[in-house]
Amino acid sequence: MQISALNIIIPENFRYSCLPNCAVCCAGWNIDVDEEAYKNFSKFDWEKISKKFVGKKKFIEENNKKYFELVDGKCIFLDDDKYCLLHKKLGFDTKTSTCKIYPFKFIKTADGIIVRLSFVCPSIIKNTGIPLEEQLLEIKKLAALKPERMRQIDETVAVNEDFKIGWSDYKKLENFILNLLKTGDNYESSLKLAAKYLRIVLEELQKKENASLISEILEKIDKKILFVRMDPFREKKEKDDTFNKKQRLYYALFVGYKFVGQSKISSFKKIGNLVKLIIKNGTLELNGKKFDVSRVYQTYFNVENKENMKLVKKYIEHLIFTKWHLLPTDFSTPNVISGYSLILVIYALVKWFSRAFAVLRGNSVVELCDVENAVSIVDKNYAGHITKETLFLNSPVFSKICNLLISQNNFEEIII
C-alpha cells in the first residue's frame, strides 16, 4: 500500500501521546501476535533477560492465532516499570502490528480511511499530547501496516432491512444527525429527536421509493414542514408500572453483557447477576470492587454538567463520525436505523456505568472521573476491543437479544 496515496480522515480536536507509567493497553485483553513479530520474538532468549520468563509460556494459541500470554491479566512482556520489554530490547519496529497501531483503528469508506480512536486509552480520554494533525505521516504509516485487517463500510448504506441509499445521501443524513446533536439545547432530547427524525426520513423514502429525495426531505425538516412531536406523556410513563418494568429489563439485559455475558463465573452466578440487575438490588463486582446495584439508580447524573457531558458528547459523536454503527458483525447486518439505536444503547451504558463508578467511590453524584472510567469500560467491553468492534454483537445470544430490543417502537424513550 502506497503511504503517500492514502487519504486519511482524522477526527478534529483530538490529541495523543503515549503516557508514561500507564500500560492500560497492555492488560485486560488478548493481544494477537502476527507471524513476523512472533519469529522475531522467538529468536530472543528471554529467560536471560528476566526470571519472570523461566519455565513460563510467552505465547498461547487459540483458533490458529497466537496471543501474548497474560499473567494476572497483564501481558507477560510488560516490565515492572510498566514499559514493554519487547520495545525496550528489540525496538518499536519489531513489535506486533496490534501494539504498533493502538490506539488507532482504520475504517475504509468511500471518502477515505477514517481514523477511529480507542477511548480505553487515557491519553485519548483526557485529550493530552500531540494534535493528530501533526502526526499525519506517522498515522499513514500505521494505516499501511495491515491493510487486510482494515474494516470497510459499503458505499451503499441500508436505512433499514428493505431500503438502501447511496454514500452521498448517507453523508447528508449523518451530517444532519451530528448537527442536531451539536446544536441542541438538551443532549438527551436531541438524541431522542434524531431517532424520531430518522424514522420520518425512512417513512418519506418508502412513500416515494426514491433515495435521491434525501436532500428534499431534510430541507422539509429544516423548514419544519416535516416535524416530530416529543412525547408529552414521558413523565406519566415513568410512573407507569409496565413502562418501568420494560425499562428495567432493557437495562438489565444490556448492562448484563458485562456482568453475565463476559464474566468467567458459573451459570448459577450469571443468572444471579442478571436477577440482581432486573430487580435493581444486590451486590455486583466492578474492577475488583463490590457495589450495591440499588445505589446506582439513586446516584445523580447531571446532564447539564458541561464538563461531564463534553466527554460523553465527544465519544458518542466520534462513534457516529467513524461509522461504528455501520460496521458489520458476525451475527447482524447493520443499517442506519438499528445502528443509531445502538448509539443510544452506548449512551445509556455510559450513564449507567458512570453512576456505578460514583457508587464505588462512595459518592451519590457523578463526577468527571466516573464518566472517564465509564467511557473507557464501555468502549472496551461493548464498542471496540483492541482488535474487534461491537463486541457484544459478536455474541450470538446477545446479538439476538439486542436486535430484538432495539427494533421495538419508541426504543429511544425506553433506553434514555
CA distance 47 to 67: 19
pLDDT in tens, 140-193: 999 998 887 788 999 999 998 888 899 999 999 999 999 999 988 899 999 999
In single-letter form, the type of residue at position 398 comes to F
CA distances from 71 to 68, 75, 282 (A): 10, 6, 31
Query: Which residue do the cell numbers 425512512 mark?
Result: 202
Q: How far apart are CA 254 and CA 378, in angstroms?
A: 11
Higher-confidence position of 270 and 295: 295
Residue 3 has pLDDT above 90, yes or no: no
pTM for the predicted model, two decimal places: 0.91
- The answer for residues whose C-beta is within 8 angstroms of residue 105's C-beta and 6 or more apart is 115, 116, 117, 118, 151, 384, 389
Tens digit of each residue's pLDDT (9 = 90 or more) over 294-347: 999 999 999 999 999 999 999 999 999 999 999 887 767 789 999 999 999 999
Average pLDDT of the segment spanning 96-120: 94
What the block records as the C-alpha cell of 157 is: 448504506
Domain boundaries, the chain: 3-152, 157-222, 234-415
CA distance 256 to 284: 11
| Radius of gyration of the CA atoms of the chain, in A | 22
The residue among 273, 261, 271, 251 whose CA lies nearest residue 355 is 251
**Residue 103: cis peptide before it, omega within 30 degrees of 0:** yes
Mean pLDDT is lowest, of 12-21, 38-47, 94-103, for 38-47
Residue 111 to residue 95: CA distance in whole angstroms: 30
pLDDT at 52 over 90: no
Residue 26, pLDDT score: 92
User: What average pLDDT is seen over the chain?
Assistant: 87
In this predicted structure, what is the pLDDT of residue 1? Answer: 52
pLDDT of residue 177: 95
Strands 104-108, 151-152: pairing is parallel
Place of cell 480522515: 9
d(CA 339, CA 402): 11
**pLDDT for residue 16:** 97
Helix axes 306-321, 187-208, angle to 10 degrees: 30
For 32, phi and psi rounded to 5 degrees?
-75, 150
Assess whether pLDDT exceeds 80 at residue 224.
no
| DSSP structural state of residue 10 | P
Q: Is 403 helix (H, G, I), strand (E, B) or coil?
A: helix
